A and B are shown apart, each in its own frame.
Chain A
Amino acid sequence: MRREFIYPHRSVRSFPMSPGRVCFAVGMALVCSVTVFYFGTRLLDAHNRVSWFILKYTGVPTAEERTIEIFPRLGPVDVRDVPLPADRASPVRNGILFAVALSALIFCHRRFPLGRNFVIFLMILLCASGVVVLFVPSFDFNAVVYSQIWLRGEILVWLLLPWVSALLFVLTLPSMASGFLWSLLIECYVVFWSALRLAFCLGILHYTGILFLPLLWFVLGILFDLVIVLFFYSLALEQSIKGTMGGRRS
């Protein structure tokens, strides 16, 4: 089919932002953030229920419910404790776990040159955790404290995410409607995905103790939210480019 216009060279292309689009982006972010804040406690409850369901489905036992504070006006919410392994303080057990994890990381370090520094980052986390577990026995995390830290971080992510989405999707993508849909999709997805990650972390806590918790927190916490946003952003861009100025495949 005949194109409507000649594509400009990439050096002079642009996607001008209309004031209406800026207003829409700000409005959308504001409404979403206020909604998350208003329904925050219920959202956290729903999130925790999904986590419990996953834990139950995968055979991880949960103990009694405990009520924790999140932030003023957000919470309190109920979380469930997860029993830790009985021999969690055993140096032999922790030593074996540490050695296995470190060996896996060393393998990755040698095998994937581009990921080396990321693996070193993980090694540092693991070693720090190992030192703390070995030399500071008083440092004893449990599932309740871990859930509290997790939920505090995640609720802030959910509150701020609409603004990030407004910037990445609504303001800069050629189609405002698709940008809006991507923003809604990512907000829903990130809540569900957080529940899944928390359940995974609590499962690891149940089977291996606290050795891997810092590593899991740093990797699967807010950093992973960033990766999810990037993943969605790359998908949205790919879709947008397909219909923009003869998007090339390479």
Chain B
Amino acid sequence: MTFLIVACKVCLGFTITVLTVYAVRHYLFALYRISLRNSQDMMELVGFTTPSVSVLVPMRNEEKVAAHVLQALVDCDYDWNKLEVLAIDDRSADRTGEIIDQFAAKYPIVRAIHRSKGAGGKGAALRTASAQASGEILLLFDADYVPGRSMIKFLVAPFCDPEVGAVMGRVVPDNGGATLLAGLLELERSAGYQVGQQARFNLNLTPQFGGTVGGVRASVLKAVGGWNAESLTEDTDLTFRLLLQGWKVAYVNRAECYEEAPEKWQVRSRQIRRWAIGHTECFHDLWKAWIKGKFLSTAERIDGLFVLACYLTAPILVLGWLASLVLFFTPQAHRTAVFLVALPFVGYQLFGNQATFLELGSAALLDCNRRRIRLLPLSLLNFFASTGAICQALFNFYFGGIFRSGPHHWHKTVRYRDANGSVYRNGENGEFASKLLARSPNGVYFSR
């Protein structure tokens, strides 16, 4: 019994230590971002450089959203002589290929790429498209994203700096009002980008290239070995390989792109499990090289490890909970009236757990997002839900072989954009796509 109590106390102490360190990091980011007088937004560089750009849009069974993203891209105010849109139909079984072909026939800047064999997944699709792209800069958008008109100009601006290898923009859900989960994810995304990414960029740490709403230099991509088709999070993998080779990743907070956040928990759960496994794979693949990386500052090195290991905090937290549970049922544990032991524990519960909420609150304040902030206390549900999903994913990752759960697969995120209530939700998808195509041949909202 004594051994069990000691083991539980050690587990609890370990949990509190690890999570407190993460909490301090979150506090630092939130306070730094909210009090930042001059954020690096790169907007002063817009227009300085107009390199040739290839926009890659991998799609698999995306008939609900394919027309929207392609239309938004051809409507962008970037010089068509320097722009190509590579729409990749990755073995779709629905009308995605047809929609892409219609756009390619109508707009000279759209090129259709149909993949019918080879490895599946986004990484593999990007590999194929990158080989055919002719632009100096490769920009990426997922199929459910709707870039604004100036998005391409904003995203290529930081490439003025020859040391910038990749650029990341800001993802903003446009369906936050659809369900409670979508609302909570809007808050979460806001904190992740408005506070987390911006603070990390300003502090010269490791802003992450997220694999969508971002871009990479074609030459640099080639130099670091291209997309890792094996990885479930090819974006994280690329970010860290770029940083290891001495390239910088820039974050452009002004480059806002609208996405469809998961509206159902099952969809979100699959998404977060994929991220957890992919991230943790990257952690195992890269941590040694990262520690030794010769181009990295100490702060970058530490922050990079925090980023790579972030999903491991979920099982550590569960370990701490279980230890607390055992200690609760152990009368000896309650006889310990040591103020100095109890204080950090309660302090962690209050301060540690508040850290991420301070980030969420700060982001909502900066965004002036009044309605969603009412959901803040309910973020705890999202927190519990994500913790469970991550634990499940990591259990499969580490022990899947024992239970023969098979290799980890890439799951396509379900799309919802077929109801009323948004500019992109006004009709049947096929019909809507046809309407988009029926507009002017040279951009819908303006003439070139």
Contact = CB atoms under 8 A, between A and B. Distances in A.
Interface of A: 9-17, 69-72, 113-118, 120-121, 124-125, 128-129, 132, 136, 139, 145, 148-149, 152-153, 156-157, 159-161, 163-164, 167-168, 171-174, 214, 217-218, 222-223, 225-227, 229-231, 233-234, 237-238, 240-242, 244-250
A10 B368 CA distance: 8
Contact of B337 (A71, A171, A234): A71
B27 A167 contact: yes
B23 to A, nearest CB: 11
Nearest to A15: B34
A233 B370 CA distance: 12
A10 B265 contact: no
Contact of A172 (B34, B37, B369): B34
Interface stretch (B207-215, B346-354, B408-416): B346-354
Contacts of A214: 325, 328-329
Contacts of B380: 118, 226-227, 230
Contacts, number: 192
A248 B39 contact: no
Nearest to A222: B349
A206 B334 CA distance: 21
Interface string B380-406: 111011011100000000000000000
A248 B369 contact: yes
A163 B367 CA distance: 25
Interface size class of B (residues with CB under 8 A): 35 or more
Interface stretch (B100-108, B230-238, B294-302, B371-379): B371-379
A229 to B, nearest CB: 7
Contacts of B366: 10, 13-15
B376 A249 contact: no
A244 B180 CA distance: 25
Contacts of A14: 33-37, 39, 366
B381 A171 contact: no
Nearest to A159: B343
Contact of B329 (A132, A171, A233): A132
B191 to A, nearest CB: 13
B3 interface: no
Given A11-B170, A72-B339, A152-B342, A237 B367 contact: no
B280 interface: no
Nearest to B364: A237
A153 B374 contact: no
B437 interface: no
Q: In this complex, which of B37, B321, B325 has the most chain A Cβ atoms within 10 angstroms of its Cβ?
A: B325
B127 interface: no
A232 to B, nearest CB: 9
Interface string B22-37: 0000010011011111
Contacts of A160: 343, 346-347, 350-351
Contacts of B374: 234, 238
A164 B350 contact: yes
Given A11-B170, A14-B366, 11 more contacts: A14-B39, A17-B35, A118-B380, A148-B334, A214-B325, A222-B350, A225-B349, A231-B376, A238-B374, A244-B365, A244-B368
Nearest to A113: B265
Given A117-B385, A152-B342, A242 B349 contact: no
B358 interface: yes
A149 B372 CA distance: 36
A153 B328 CA distance: 13
Contacts of A164: 350-351, 354
Q: In this complex, which of B35, B176, B331 has the most chain A Cβ atoms within 10 angstroms of its Cβ?
A: B35
Contacts of B41: 11-12
Closest CB pairs A-B (n = 8): A117-B388, A11-B253, A234-B376, A156-B346, A113-B265, A118-B384, A247-B368, A11-B254
Interface in B222-265: 253-254, 256, 264-265
30 contacts: A9-B254, A11-B41, A12-B254, A14-B36, A15-B35, A70-B337, A71-B339, A113-B265, A114-B381, A114-B385, A115-B384, A117-B389, A118-B380, A118-B384, A120-B388, A124-B325, A156-B343, A160-B346, A164-B354, A168-B354, A227-B380, A230-B377, A233-B376, A234-B361, A234-B373, A234-B375, A237-B376, A238-B373, A241-B369, A241-B370
